[in-house]
Amino acid sequence: MDFSNSEPVRPGNDPEAATSPPSLSLTPEMHRRAQDRARDRLAQLPPSVQAQSPELMQRLMHELAVHQVELEMQNDELRRVQLALEASRARYFDLYDLAPVGYLTASPDGLILEANLCAATLLGVARSALAKRPLSRYIVQAQQDIYYQCRQQVNATGVAQTCELQVLHSAGAAVWVSLALSCAQGSDGAPVLRMMLSDISARKLLDESLKESNLRLQSACLQADQANRAKSDFLSSMSHELRSPLNAILGFAQLLESGTPEPTPDQQASLQQILRGGWYLLTLINEILDLSLIESGKLNLSMEPVCLADNFTDCAAMIAPQAQHSGIRVSMAALNDPCFVQADRTRLKQVIVNLLSNAIKYNRTGGTVDITCRSPSAGRVRISVVDTGEGLSEQQLSQLFQPFNRLGQESGTQEGTGIGLVVCKRLVELMGGEIGVNSRPGIGSEFWFELNQAKPQQATDEHETPAPAPHAATLPALLYVEDNPANTELLEQLLARRSDLRLLKAGNGTSGIAMARMHQPAVILMDINLPGITGFQALKILQDDAATRHIPVLALSANAMPHDVDKGLAAGFLCYLTKPIKINALMQALDLALAAAKEPR
């Protein structure tokens, strides 16, 4: 295309002049040179292009201009993407270098290829110095096998692995780290290992501290257990030492009270004082032992559905003499529908009797005690003992259920220990219930406790034990093995009232075994703490001897802790009686043993 005859471009007729920078004004010489250069470029075009019409050339020039703009836009986009990649790469390296954990890239055989600042800081080595060095060089010698096995597992399976080990700082200190390894591909496609090192020194220090604390705690628990065992042994020994003289005191007092001729009124009053003091001392011993067992967690409960109506009847019979003596009227709510609670039968009676006894003891002359029963919520039963006593003040209520705190009654005429209510509270809580009190000074108090309601057990067919057959003409013998002469004399006087038994006596276990073999008694009554061999050892010898294993053996001991009773029954004693002797319980046990002795061998 020939531009030689074309009109020169002037500012007035150029469509792009408005957008051109005003500083780009062309001189005539510059314009002439531009035209010459344009003609040279056109001359270089192929002849077929030069032969085109001006219209076609104009269209081609437009398309070329559009294509040039597109290329410029693509270049701009590429420059933008490149800048974004550079910024992202910069952020990546910032995150990589400044991360709070150590990052390493290593070859499959463990040579470090690159590391971040944290990894270099953990090892105390410059980043440049880590390159091409094996990581194992910085691992404590004793723990390098852990690292090798972990690395081999990753190379073999491709599954990420973790382990804990110690790395050596350049200063010589060992630092605990958690090492995580995984497989990856490098920029050249070759396999590499990615490693992450996390400083766990603080956690390890805490673990050691916790371990030491646990050891101290275990030691303290062991000492506490030893102290509890020592306490239990002391209480058991104390119980034995107190029960032995009580056995004689209460036993002979009961003999005198029921002897012939009957005691005079003055003697009867003296005997009542002896018996009341003795049984009170026994109650005190039992309460202390109960509280000790509860606090040590060794009290075993036999939970079962218990009928409240039957329980109320038994409790009323037990406290009737006390109520009658104090002139207190006791009334119990009539339960039209059978009501059962989940409880230990014996311990439930203990709680109710204790609350009734207190209500009678601290009542006013001619007062009343009412037992009520209701259901405050679904599945719960509340038993209340309401008295007409003096009531309790706010200060007294705040001190209730504290061991040995009698709320200012120490100087009163009523005997007490301040233990009973504490035992009641612990027993109720052990049976899954709660206990409380409502009181108004000058009006009276309501002690209540709640237990879970229960369904009655299915009735089972039970047969009463047949009455013993008439005794033979020859009296059966009772062999009593006891080293305490006072206890032997007491039992001798008790058996003098039975015409169906004759008494044989032995002062130790060895002579008792010899007499059992020689005389073949119908029943043996054995003390536990005997000189020489114990009652348990004597029982074992009797059980191993075919000539004596059929003889029923009863235990009679001042060792009255529950675990003592359980141990005795488990050893094979037919019954385990505790001192002081309760005459009725002893006679019932003898009848049971005589009946067992008559059964076929």
Q: In which residue ranges of the chain is CATH 3.30.450.20 found?
A: 99-199
Q: How far apart are CA 380 and CA 21, in angstroms?
A: 98
Coil, helix or strand at residue 268: helix
Q: In which residue ranges of the chain is CATH 3.40.50.2300 found?
A: 477-597
Element (H, E) at 306: strand 303-307
Q: In what order do the strands lie in the sheet with 191-199?
A: 112-115, 102-106, 191-199, 174-185, 161-168
Residue with tokens 């006390």: 322
pLDDT band per the 50, 70, 90 thresholds, residue 407: low
Q: How far apart are CA 330 and CA 326, in angstroms?
A: 11
Secondary-structure class of domain 301-452 per CATH: alpha beta
Coil, helix or strand at residue 23: coil
> Are β-strands 102-106 and 112-115 bridged in parallel, bridged antiparallel, or unpaired?
antiparallel
Task: Express each pLDDT in 211-258 by its tens digit.
Answer: 999 999 999 888 887 877 776 667 666 666 777 777 778 878 887 877
pLDDT band per the 50, 70, 90 thresholds, residue 497: confident
pLDDT band per the 50, 70, 90 thresholds, residue 413: low
76-80 contact pairs (CB < 8 A, 24+): none
pLDDT band per the 50, 70, 90 thresholds, residue 16: very low
Element (H, E) at 449: strand 444-452
Q: Which CATH architecture has domain 99-199?
A: 2-Layer Sandwich (3.30)
pLDDT of residue 69: 77
Contact 186, 108 (CB under 8 A): no
- HSE-CB at 150 with a 13 A cutoff on CA atoms is 22
Task: Express each pLDDT in 327-372 by its tens digit.
Answer: 899 988 777 677 899 998 888 988 998 899 889 988 988 899 999 8
Q: How far apart are CA 147 and CA 155, in angstroms?
A: 12
Q: Which two tokens stand for residue 235?
A: 């209480």
Contact 529, 500 (CB under 8 A): no
Q: In which residue ranges of the chain is CATH 3.30.565.10 found?
A: 301-452
Q: Which CATH architecture has domain 477-597?
A: 3-Layer(aba) Sandwich (3.40)
- Choose the weakest-confidence range: 6-10, 269-273, 309-313, 489-493: 6-10
Stated pTM of the model:
0.42
